[in-house]
Chain A
Amino acid sequence: MQIFHRSTNTISRVSLFGAVFFIALLGWVFDSLQRSSYNTQQNVAREQPVQFSHAHHVGAIGIDCRYCHTSVEKAAFAGIPPTKTCMNCHSQIWAQSPYLEPVRESYRTDRSIEWTRVHDLPDFVYFDHSIHVNKGVGCETCHGRVDQMPLMWQASRLQMSWCLDCHRNTEKYLRPKDQVFTMGYVPAGDQLELGRKLQKEYGIRKVTVLESCSTCHR
Protein backbone atom coordinates (compact mmCIF):
# COMPACT_ATOMS: atom_id res chain seq x y z
CA MET A 1 0.00 0.00 0.00
CA GLN A 2 1.24 3.42 -0.92
CA ILE A 3 0.98 5.71 2.14
CA PHE A 4 2.94 8.69 0.86
CA HIS A 5 2.36 10.47 -2.39
CA ARG A 6 5.21 10.37 -4.93
CA SER A 7 5.99 14.05 -4.47
CA THR A 8 7.14 13.41 -0.91
CA ASN A 9 10.31 11.93 -2.35
CA THR A 10 11.21 15.30 -3.80
CA ILE A 11 10.08 17.17 -0.74
CA SER A 12 12.22 15.05 1.52
CA ARG A 13 15.31 15.54 -0.66
CA VAL A 14 14.80 19.26 -0.93
CA SER A 15 14.26 19.62 2.78
CA LEU A 16 17.39 17.58 3.56
CA PHE A 17 19.57 19.78 1.35
CA GLY A 18 17.60 22.87 2.31
CA ALA A 19 18.26 22.25 5.99
CA VAL A 20 22.00 22.37 5.40
CA PHE A 21 21.75 25.74 3.68
CA PHE A 22 19.27 27.03 6.20
CA ILE A 23 21.55 26.19 9.10
CA ALA A 24 24.50 27.78 7.29
CA LEU A 25 22.42 30.87 6.65
CA LEU A 26 21.42 31.04 10.31
CA GLY A 27 25.07 30.79 11.29
CA TRP A 28 26.02 33.58 8.91
CA VAL A 29 23.21 35.83 10.17
CA PHE A 30 24.18 35.20 13.79
CA ASP A 31 27.86 35.85 13.10
CA SER A 32 27.15 39.09 11.24
CA LEU A 33 24.82 40.24 13.98
CA GLN A 34 27.28 39.61 16.77
CA ARG A 35 30.02 41.46 14.89
CA SER A 36 27.71 44.31 13.97
CA SER A 37 27.69 47.63 15.74
CA TYR A 38 24.22 46.70 16.98
CA ASN A 39 25.97 44.28 19.30
CA THR A 40 29.41 45.88 19.77
CA GLN A 41 28.32 49.54 19.87
CA GLN A 42 31.20 50.27 17.51
CA ASN A 43 31.02 53.74 15.93
CA VAL A 44 28.09 54.75 18.10
CA ALA A 45 28.72 58.13 19.71
CA ARG A 46 27.64 58.23 23.36
CA GLU A 47 25.76 61.02 25.05
CA GLN A 48 27.70 62.49 27.95
CA PRO A 49 26.73 64.77 30.84
CA VAL A 50 29.05 67.40 29.33
CA GLN A 51 29.51 67.72 25.58
CA PHE A 52 33.25 67.25 25.83
CA SER A 53 34.90 67.27 22.42
CA HIS A 54 38.18 65.46 21.86
CA ALA A 55 38.17 66.98 18.37
CA HIS A 56 38.44 70.42 19.96
CA HIS A 57 40.87 69.66 22.79
CA VAL A 58 43.17 67.27 20.93
CA GLY A 59 42.66 68.23 17.30
CA ALA A 60 42.34 72.01 17.53
CA ILE A 61 44.22 72.92 20.72
CA GLY A 62 46.78 70.12 20.50
CA ILE A 63 46.69 68.98 24.11
CA ASP A 64 48.58 65.73 24.66
CA CYS A 65 46.54 62.66 25.70
CA ARG A 66 48.57 62.42 28.90
CA TYR A 67 47.63 65.89 30.08
CA CYS A 68 44.32 64.39 31.23
CA HIS A 69 44.86 60.61 31.05
CA THR A 70 47.77 60.80 33.47
CA SER A 71 48.01 57.14 34.46
CA VAL A 72 48.03 55.64 30.97
CA GLU A 73 51.78 55.00 31.02
CA LYS A 74 51.98 53.33 34.40
CA ALA A 75 48.65 51.69 35.20
CA ALA A 76 46.02 49.43 33.73
CA PHE A 77 43.50 52.25 33.75
CA ALA A 78 44.28 55.28 31.59
CA GLY A 79 42.53 57.59 34.05
CA ILE A 80 39.59 59.90 33.67
CA PRO A 81 40.67 63.36 34.81
CA PRO A 82 39.26 64.82 38.00
CA THR A 83 37.13 67.95 37.60
CA LYS A 84 40.12 69.94 38.81
CA THR A 85 41.92 69.19 35.53
CA CYS A 86 39.03 70.70 33.55
CA MET A 87 39.11 73.74 35.80
CA ASN A 88 42.83 74.27 35.14
CA CYS A 89 41.73 76.06 31.97
CA HIS A 90 37.99 76.50 32.39
CA SER A 91 38.29 78.63 35.48
CA GLN A 92 39.12 81.33 32.93
CA ILE A 93 38.15 80.05 29.49
CA TRP A 94 34.42 79.61 28.82
CA ALA A 95 34.02 80.22 32.51
CA GLN A 96 30.41 81.43 32.09
CA SER A 97 29.34 78.90 29.45
CA PRO A 98 26.12 77.06 30.29
CA TYR A 99 27.58 73.97 28.62
CA LEU A 100 30.14 73.79 31.38
CA GLU A 101 27.74 74.25 34.28
CA PRO A 102 27.90 70.53 35.18
CA VAL A 103 31.69 70.90 35.47
CA ARG A 104 31.48 73.96 37.69
CA GLU A 105 28.78 72.33 39.77
CA SER A 106 30.97 69.28 40.25
CA TYR A 107 33.85 71.55 41.31
CA ARG A 108 31.67 73.53 43.74
CA THR A 109 29.94 70.57 45.32
CA ASP A 110 32.76 67.99 45.14
CA ARG A 111 30.40 65.52 43.44
CA SER A 112 31.89 63.49 40.60
CA ILE A 113 30.73 64.01 37.04
CA GLU A 114 29.32 60.65 35.99
CA TRP A 115 30.63 60.09 32.48
CA THR A 116 29.20 57.37 30.29
CA ARG A 117 31.77 54.70 29.74
CA VAL A 118 32.56 54.26 26.04
CA HIS A 119 35.12 51.44 26.04
CA ASP A 120 33.81 48.71 28.30
CA LEU A 121 35.67 45.43 28.13
CA PRO A 122 34.02 42.39 29.73
CA ASP A 123 35.13 41.87 33.33
CA PHE A 124 36.66 38.51 32.49
CA VAL A 125 39.29 40.24 30.36
CA TYR A 126 42.52 41.53 31.85
CA PHE A 127 43.66 44.63 30.02
CA ASP A 128 46.50 46.97 30.95
CA HIS A 129 47.04 50.25 29.10
CA SER A 130 50.60 50.74 30.34
CA ILE A 131 52.10 47.63 28.75
CA HIS A 132 50.59 48.50 25.38
CA VAL A 133 51.66 52.14 25.45
CA ASN A 134 55.16 51.25 26.63
CA LYS A 135 55.65 48.63 23.93
CA GLY A 136 54.79 50.82 20.97
CA VAL A 137 51.03 50.39 20.52
CA GLY A 138 49.61 53.78 19.60
CA CYS A 139 46.46 55.21 21.19
CA GLU A 140 45.13 55.58 17.68
CA THR A 141 45.60 51.89 16.89
CA CYS A 142 42.69 50.96 19.17
CA HIS A 143 40.89 54.25 19.77
CA GLY A 144 40.99 55.61 16.22
CA ARG A 145 41.28 59.26 15.29
CA VAL A 146 40.23 60.63 18.67
CA ASP A 147 41.33 64.06 17.46
CA GLN A 148 38.42 63.97 15.01
CA MET A 149 35.71 62.83 17.41
CA PRO A 150 33.35 65.56 18.63
CA LEU A 151 31.68 63.08 20.96
CA MET A 152 33.55 59.93 21.87
CA TRP A 153 32.77 56.65 20.19
CA GLN A 154 34.38 53.26 20.15
CA ALA A 155 36.38 52.91 16.96
CA SER A 156 37.07 49.19 17.29
CA ARG A 157 34.92 46.12 17.85
CA LEU A 158 36.73 45.24 21.08
CA GLN A 159 35.95 41.58 20.50
CA MET A 160 38.37 38.75 21.08
CA SER A 161 39.07 38.14 17.40
CA TRP A 162 40.00 41.81 17.14
CA CYS A 163 42.42 41.56 20.08
CA LEU A 164 43.98 38.40 18.65
CA ASP A 165 44.49 39.94 15.24
CA CYS A 166 47.07 42.24 16.80
CA HIS A 167 48.45 39.79 19.35
CA ARG A 168 49.20 37.38 16.48
CA ASN A 169 50.52 40.03 14.07
CA THR A 170 52.11 42.72 16.22
CA GLU A 171 54.42 43.72 13.36
CA LYS A 172 51.40 45.12 11.53
CA TYR A 173 50.68 47.66 14.26
CA LEU A 174 53.79 48.56 16.28
CA ARG A 175 55.11 52.10 16.03
CA PRO A 176 58.14 53.85 17.53
CA LYS A 177 57.58 54.76 21.18
CA ASP A 178 57.84 58.47 20.47
CA GLN A 179 54.89 58.17 18.08
CA VAL A 180 52.55 56.34 20.45
CA PHE A 181 50.55 59.46 21.30
CA THR A 182 50.57 60.85 17.76
CA MET A 183 47.28 61.06 15.89
CA GLY A 184 47.37 60.47 12.15
CA TYR A 185 50.71 58.68 12.32
CA VAL A 186 52.04 57.37 9.01
CA PRO A 187 54.97 54.94 9.21
CA ALA A 188 58.12 56.12 7.49
CA GLY A 189 58.81 53.26 5.10
CA ASP A 190 57.47 49.73 5.17
CA GLN A 191 55.34 48.96 8.22
CA LEU A 192 56.12 45.22 8.27
CA GLU A 193 59.85 45.85 8.14
CA LEU A 194 59.63 48.51 10.83
CA GLY A 195 57.30 46.32 12.89
CA ARG A 196 59.73 43.39 12.86
CA LYS A 197 62.56 45.67 13.89
CA LEU A 198 60.51 47.12 16.76
CA GLN A 199 59.43 43.64 17.88
CA LYS A 200 63.09 42.86 18.56
CA GLU A 201 63.93 46.27 19.97
CA TYR A 202 61.02 46.37 22.42
CA GLY A 203 61.25 42.70 23.33
CA ILE A 204 57.73 41.80 22.21
CA ARG A 205 56.88 38.30 23.45
CA LYS A 206 56.38 35.37 21.09
CA VAL A 207 52.98 34.74 19.51
CA THR A 208 52.57 31.59 21.60
CA VAL A 209 52.70 33.75 24.70
CA LEU A 210 50.66 36.63 23.34
CA GLU A 211 47.82 34.40 22.18
CA SER A 212 47.82 32.17 25.22
CA CYS A 213 44.48 32.18 27.07
CA SER A 214 45.98 33.27 30.36
CA THR A 215 47.58 36.37 28.86
CA CYS A 216 44.19 38.09 28.84
CA HIS A 217 42.02 35.79 30.96
CA ARG A 218 43.68 35.57 34.33
Chain B
Amino acid sequence: MRVERKAAAVGLLLCAAAAAACRQEMYNQPRYKPLGRSDFFADNRQARPPVEGTVARGMLRADSRLYTGKEGNALVSVFPLPVTRALLDRGRQRYNIYCAPCHDRTGAGNGMVVQRGYRQPPSLHIDRLREQPVGHFFDVITNGLGAMPDYAAQIPVEDRWAIVAYVRALQLSQGARVGDVPPESRGELDRAKPTGEPSPASPEYPTLYKSAPIRGSGAGSVPGAQLDPGAPAGGVKAKPPK
Protein backbone atom coordinates (compact mmCIF):
# COMPACT_ATOMS: atom_id res chain seq x y z
CA MET B 1 0.00 0.00 0.00
CA ARG B 2 2.69 2.44 0.98
CA VAL B 3 4.73 1.68 -2.12
CA GLU B 4 1.69 2.22 -4.33
CA ARG B 5 0.98 5.57 -2.73
CA LYS B 6 4.55 6.68 -3.18
CA ALA B 7 4.49 5.65 -6.82
CA ALA B 8 1.25 7.54 -7.39
CA ALA B 9 2.67 10.68 -5.77
CA VAL B 10 5.82 10.52 -7.86
CA GLY B 11 3.74 9.94 -10.99
CA LEU B 12 1.55 12.95 -10.25
CA LEU B 13 4.55 15.14 -9.63
CA LEU B 14 6.13 14.04 -12.91
CA CYS B 15 2.93 14.80 -14.79
CA ALA B 16 2.67 18.22 -13.19
CA ALA B 17 6.31 18.98 -13.95
CA ALA B 18 5.90 17.88 -17.57
CA ALA B 19 2.74 19.92 -18.01
CA ALA B 20 4.34 23.02 -16.54
CA ALA B 21 7.55 22.73 -18.52
CA CYS B 22 6.43 21.74 -22.00
CA ARG B 23 4.27 24.76 -22.70
CA GLN B 24 6.83 27.49 -22.11
CA GLU B 25 9.73 25.68 -23.77
CA MET B 26 7.93 25.29 -27.07
CA TYR B 27 6.13 28.60 -26.90
CA ASN B 28 9.23 30.66 -26.36
CA GLN B 29 12.10 29.13 -28.25
CA PRO B 30 15.54 30.59 -27.75
CA ARG B 31 15.91 32.32 -31.10
CA TYR B 32 15.95 35.89 -32.36
CA LYS B 33 12.71 37.49 -33.44
CA PRO B 34 12.00 40.81 -35.17
CA LEU B 35 12.78 43.71 -32.83
CA GLY B 36 13.38 41.30 -29.98
CA ARG B 37 15.49 42.08 -26.93
CA SER B 38 19.03 40.83 -26.71
CA ASP B 39 21.19 40.79 -23.62
CA PHE B 40 24.24 40.01 -25.71
CA PHE B 41 24.58 43.24 -27.69
CA ALA B 42 25.28 46.51 -25.92
CA ASP B 43 22.25 48.26 -27.41
CA ASN B 44 19.98 45.36 -26.31
CA ARG B 45 18.72 44.94 -29.86
CA GLN B 46 18.51 41.65 -31.68
CA ALA B 47 18.16 43.49 -34.98
CA ARG B 48 21.65 44.35 -36.22
CA PRO B 49 22.63 47.10 -38.65
CA PRO B 50 24.69 46.01 -41.67
CA VAL B 51 28.41 45.84 -40.98
CA GLU B 52 30.05 49.17 -41.71
CA GLY B 53 31.43 49.53 -45.20
CA THR B 54 29.33 46.70 -46.63
CA VAL B 55 26.63 46.83 -49.26
CA ALA B 56 23.88 44.24 -49.41
CA ARG B 57 23.07 42.70 -52.76
CA GLY B 58 20.76 44.95 -54.75
CA MET B 59 21.41 47.88 -52.43
CA LEU B 60 24.21 49.63 -54.30
CA ARG B 61 21.89 52.43 -55.39
CA ALA B 62 24.16 53.50 -58.22
CA ASP B 63 21.39 55.25 -60.17
CA SER B 64 21.48 58.68 -58.54
CA ARG B 65 18.47 59.92 -60.50
CA LEU B 66 16.32 57.15 -59.10
CA TYR B 67 17.66 57.11 -55.56
CA THR B 68 18.30 60.79 -54.89
CA GLY B 69 16.21 62.61 -57.48
CA LYS B 70 19.37 64.43 -58.49
CA GLU B 71 21.92 64.28 -61.26
CA GLY B 72 25.10 65.70 -59.85
CA ASN B 73 23.69 68.55 -57.82
CA ALA B 74 20.82 69.34 -60.16
CA LEU B 75 17.31 68.12 -59.36
CA VAL B 76 15.93 65.90 -62.08
CA SER B 77 12.96 67.22 -64.02
CA VAL B 78 12.14 63.90 -65.70
CA PHE B 79 10.75 60.88 -63.88
CA PRO B 80 13.43 58.16 -63.71
CA LEU B 81 10.74 55.49 -64.13
CA PRO B 82 7.74 55.21 -66.46
CA VAL B 83 4.64 56.95 -65.16
CA THR B 84 1.70 54.62 -65.65
CA ARG B 85 -1.85 54.45 -64.38
CA ALA B 86 -0.72 51.77 -61.91
CA LEU B 87 2.00 54.07 -60.56
CA LEU B 88 -0.50 56.91 -60.13
CA ASP B 89 -2.96 54.66 -58.32
CA ARG B 90 -0.18 53.47 -56.04
CA GLY B 91 0.83 57.10 -55.55
CA ARG B 92 -2.66 58.12 -54.55
CA GLN B 93 -2.85 55.30 -52.04
CA ARG B 94 0.58 56.07 -50.54
CA TYR B 95 -0.06 59.82 -50.54
CA ASN B 96 -3.26 59.27 -48.58
CA ILE B 97 -1.38 57.13 -46.04
CA TYR B 98 1.79 59.11 -45.49
CA CYS B 99 1.16 62.67 -46.71
CA ALA B 100 -2.53 63.33 -46.12
CA PRO B 101 -2.20 63.52 -42.31
CA CYS B 102 -0.59 66.95 -42.83
CA HIS B 103 -1.07 67.92 -46.48
CA ASP B 104 -4.70 66.63 -46.58
CA ARG B 105 -6.07 64.69 -49.48
CA THR B 106 -6.19 67.67 -51.82
CA GLY B 107 -2.73 68.98 -51.02
CA ALA B 108 -3.97 72.25 -49.54
CA GLY B 109 -2.18 71.62 -46.24
CA ASN B 110 -5.10 71.34 -43.84
CA GLY B 111 -4.60 67.78 -42.62
CA MET B 112 -5.66 66.54 -39.21
CA VAL B 113 -2.17 66.79 -37.76
CA VAL B 114 -2.00 70.42 -38.86
CA GLN B 115 -5.40 71.02 -37.28
CA ARG B 116 -3.93 69.65 -34.05
CA GLY B 117 -1.12 72.15 -34.05
CA TYR B 118 1.64 71.08 -36.40
CA ARG B 119 3.12 73.87 -38.49
CA GLN B 120 1.11 74.20 -41.66
CA PRO B 121 2.86 73.20 -44.86
CA PRO B 122 2.44 75.37 -47.94
CA SER B 123 -0.28 74.30 -50.33
CA LEU B 124 1.04 72.04 -53.07
CA HIS B 125 -0.82 74.28 -55.49
CA ILE B 126 1.14 77.50 -55.12
CA ASP B 127 3.10 78.59 -58.18
CA ARG B 128 6.46 78.03 -56.50
CA LEU B 129 5.69 74.34 -55.97
CA ARG B 130 4.00 73.81 -59.29
CA GLU B 131 7.12 74.99 -60.98
CA GLN B 132 9.50 72.79 -59.02
CA PRO B 133 11.04 69.89 -60.92
CA VAL B 134 9.90 66.43 -59.85
CA GLY B 135 13.27 65.79 -58.24
CA HIS B 136 12.44 68.47 -55.67
CA PHE B 137 9.48 66.52 -54.27
CA PHE B 138 11.47 63.30 -54.22
CA ASP B 139 14.29 65.07 -52.40
CA VAL B 140 11.93 66.55 -49.80
CA ILE B 141 10.27 63.19 -49.12
CA THR B 142 13.71 61.60 -48.80
CA ASN B 143 15.44 64.24 -46.70
CA GLY B 144 12.69 66.40 -45.24
CA LEU B 145 12.54 70.18 -45.50
CA GLY B 146 11.82 72.79 -42.87
CA ALA B 147 9.26 71.40 -40.45
CA MET B 148 8.70 68.31 -42.55
CA PRO B 149 10.56 65.23 -41.35
CA ASP B 150 12.10 62.82 -43.81
CA TYR B 151 10.16 59.75 -44.88
CA ALA B 152 13.06 57.71 -46.20
CA ALA B 153 12.53 54.99 -43.61
CA GLN B 154 8.78 54.73 -44.09
CA ILE B 155 8.40 54.99 -47.86
CA PRO B 156 10.47 52.88 -50.30
CA VAL B 157 12.04 54.61 -53.29
CA GLU B 158 9.54 53.49 -55.94
CA ASP B 159 6.66 54.55 -53.73
CA ARG B 160 8.23 57.97 -53.27
CA TRP B 161 8.25 58.44 -57.04
CA ALA B 162 4.67 57.19 -57.19
CA ILE B 163 3.74 59.87 -54.66
CA VAL B 164 5.58 62.51 -56.67
CA ALA B 165 3.64 61.47 -59.77
CA TYR B 166 0.39 61.71 -57.83
CA VAL B 167 1.34 65.14 -56.46
CA ARG B 168 1.76 66.25 -60.06
CA ALA B 169 -1.67 64.82 -60.85
CA LEU B 170 -3.14 66.64 -57.85
CA GLN B 171 -1.56 69.87 -59.04
CA LEU B 172 -3.04 69.36 -62.49
CA SER B 173 -6.46 68.59 -61.04
CA GLN B 174 -6.59 71.87 -59.16
CA GLY B 175 -5.92 73.81 -62.33
CA ALA B 176 -8.14 71.76 -64.57
CA ARG B 177 -10.67 73.50 -66.81
CA VAL B 178 -13.89 72.11 -68.16
CA GLY B 179 -12.13 71.70 -71.48
CA ASP B 180 -9.74 69.17 -69.89
CA VAL B 181 -12.59 66.86 -68.91
CA PRO B 182 -13.32 64.27 -71.59
CA PRO B 183 -16.62 65.18 -73.29
CA GLU B 184 -18.30 61.94 -72.24
CA SER B 185 -17.62 62.69 -68.57
CA ARG B 186 -18.73 66.32 -68.56
CA GLY B 187 -22.28 65.34 -67.66
CA GLU B 188 -21.00 64.25 -64.27
CA LEU B 189 -19.80 67.78 -63.54
CA ASP B 190 -23.25 69.24 -64.14
CA ARG B 191 -24.87 66.54 -62.11
CA ALA B 192 -22.53 67.25 -59.23
CA LYS B 193 -23.57 70.89 -58.99
CA PRO B 194 -27.09 70.87 -57.51
CA THR B 195 -26.24 68.39 -54.78
CA GLY B 196 -23.45 70.66 -53.68
CA GLU B 197 -21.13 67.73 -53.19
CA PRO B 198 -17.54 68.86 -53.01
CA SER B 199 -15.55 67.45 -55.85
CA PRO B 200 -12.11 68.40 -57.03
CA ALA B 201 -13.69 69.69 -60.24
CA SER B 202 -15.76 72.24 -58.37
CA PRO B 203 -13.30 72.68 -55.56
CA GLU B 204 -14.01 73.53 -51.98
CA TYR B 205 -10.79 75.48 -52.23
CA PRO B 206 -12.10 78.07 -54.66
CA THR B 207 -9.14 79.94 -56.05
CA LEU B 208 -5.87 78.29 -55.22
CA TYR B 209 -4.50 80.09 -58.19
CA LYS B 210 -6.30 82.55 -60.40
CA SER B 211 -6.14 80.88 -63.74
CA ALA B 212 -4.78 77.55 -64.80
CA PRO B 213 -1.58 78.35 -66.54
CA ILE B 214 -0.13 74.88 -66.59
CA ARG B 215 2.14 74.69 -69.56
CA GLY B 216 -0.04 73.27 -72.28
CA SER B 217 -3.40 71.87 -71.36
CA GLY B 218 -3.03 68.13 -71.28
CA ALA B 219 -1.36 65.98 -68.69
CA GLY B 220 1.26 64.88 -71.20
CA SER B 221 2.88 68.28 -71.28
CA VAL B 222 4.01 68.28 -67.67
CA PRO B 223 7.77 68.08 -67.61
CA GLY B 224 8.71 64.49 -67.41
CA ALA B 225 5.26 63.14 -66.76
CA GLN B 226 4.80 60.50 -69.42
CA LEU B 227 1.22 60.00 -68.48
CA ASP B 228 -0.60 57.40 -70.44
CA PRO B 229 -3.74 58.62 -72.19
CA GLY B 230 -6.05 56.93 -69.73
CA ALA B 231 -4.44 58.56 -66.73
CA PRO B 232 -6.67 60.77 -64.65
CA ALA B 233 -5.88 64.40 -64.03
CA GLY B 234 -5.88 63.88 -60.31
CA GLY B 235 -9.55 63.27 -59.81
CA VAL B 236 -11.36 65.36 -62.36
CA LYS B 237 -14.00 62.68 -62.45
CA ALA B 238 -14.26 62.84 -58.67
CA LYS B 239 -13.93 59.11 -58.27
CA PRO B 240 -13.34 57.83 -54.76
CA PRO B 241 -9.86 56.42 -54.21
CA LYS B 242 -9.61 52.77 -55.06
Determine if A89 is an interface residue (Cβ-Cβ < 8 Å): yes
Known A-B contacts: A61-B116, A91-B149. Give 9 more (CB < 8 A): A63-B112, A67-B101, A67-B154, A85-B154, A92-B119, A93-B113, A93-B118, A112-B35, A124-B26
Inter-subunit contact A89/B113 (CB<8 Å): yes
Main secondary structure of the interface of B (DSSP, over half): loop
- A40–chain B nearest beta-carbon distance, Å: 13
Which B residues, 1 to 44, have Cβ-Cβ distances below 8 Å to chain A? 26-29, 31, 33-35, 37, 43-44
Inter-subunit contact B27/A89 (CB<8 Å): no
Which A residues, 81 to 114, have Cβ-Cβ distances below 8 Å to chain B? 82, 84-85, 87-89, 91-93, 110-112, 114
Kindly identify which residue among A70, A92, A114 contacts B147, using a CB–CB cutoff of 8 Å. Answer: A92
Q: In whole angstroms, what is the CA distance A84 to B153 when docked?
A: 9
Inter-subunit contact A61/B112 (CB<8 Å): yes
Inter-subunit contact A67/B118 (CB<8 Å): no
Inter-subunit contact B242/A178 (CB<8 Å): yes
Kindly identify which residue among A62, A84, A92, A112 contacts B118, using a CB–CB cutoff of 8 Å. Answer: A92
Please give the residue numbers on chain A whose beta carbons come within 8 Å of chain B beta carbons, in ascending order. Answer: 61-64, 66-67, 70, 76-77, 79-80, 82, 84-85, 87-89, 91-93, 110-112, 114, 122-124, 178
Inter-subunit contact B97/A122 (CB<8 Å): no
Determine if B237 is an interface residue (Cβ-Cβ < 8 Å): no
Q: In whole angstroms, what is the CA distance A93 to B147 when docked?
A: 12
Q: A88 to chain B: which residues have CB within 8 Å?
A: 149
Inter-subunit contact A61/B113 (CB<8 Å): yes
Inter-subunit contact A114/B37 (CB<8 Å): yes
Determine if B209 is an interface residue (Cβ-Cβ < 8 Å): no
Q: In whole angstroms, what is the CA distance A91 to B97 when docked?
A: 20
Inter-subunit contact B97/A64 (CB<8 Å): yes
Inter-subunit contact B117/A77 (CB<8 Å): no
Q: Nearest 5 A-B pairs (CB), nearest first?
A: A77-B34, A123-B29, A64-B97, A122-B27, A88-B149
Q: In whole angstroms, what is the CA distance A64 to B44 when docked?
A: 30
Determine if B45 is an interface residue (Cβ-Cβ < 8 Å): yes
Q: A76 to chain B: which residues have CB within 8 Å?
A: 34
Q: B35 to chain A: which residues have CB within 8 Å?
A: 77, 80, 112
Determine if B205 is an interface residue (Cβ-Cβ < 8 Å): no
Given known pairs A80-B35, A112-B44, the reply for A93 and B116 (CB within 8 Å) is: yes
Interface residues on B, range: 20 to 34
Q: A61 to chain B: which residues have CB within 8 Å?
A: 101, 112-113, 116
Subset of 12 A-B contacts with CB under 8 Å: A66-B97, A67-B98, A67-B101, A79-B34, A80-B35, A89-B113, A112-B35, A122-B27, A123-B26, A123-B28, A123-B33, A178-B241
Q: A89 to chain B: which residues have CB within 8 Å?
A: 101, 113, 118
Determine if B96 is an interface residue (Cβ-Cβ < 8 Å): yes
Inter-subunit contact A112/B45 (CB<8 Å): yes
- From B115, which residue of chain A is reached at the shortest CB distance? A61
Which B residues, 147 to 189, have Cβ-Cβ distances below 8 Å to chain A? 147, 149, 153-154
Q: In whole angstroms, what is the CA distance A79 to B156 when docked?
A: 15
Q: In whole angstroms, what is the CA distance A123 to B27 when docked?
A: 5
Q: In whole angstroms, what is the CA distance A82 to B29 when docked?
A: 25
Q: A64 to chain B: which residues have CB within 8 Å?
A: 96-97
Q: In whole angstroms, what is the CA distance A110 to B118 when docked?
A: 24
- From A62, which residue of chain B is reached at the shortest CB distance? B112
Q: In whole angstroms, what is the CA distance A85 to B152 when docked?
A: 11
Q: In whole angstroms, what is the CA distance A111 to B44 when docked?
A: 8
- A161–chain B nearest beta-carbon distance, Å: 17
Q: A92 to chain B: which residues have CB within 8 Å?
A: 117-119, 147
Q: A63 to chain B: which residues have CB within 8 Å?
A: 101, 112
Q: In whole angstroms, what is the CA distance A85 to B33 when docked?
A: 21
Inter-subunit contact A122/B26 (CB<8 Å): yes
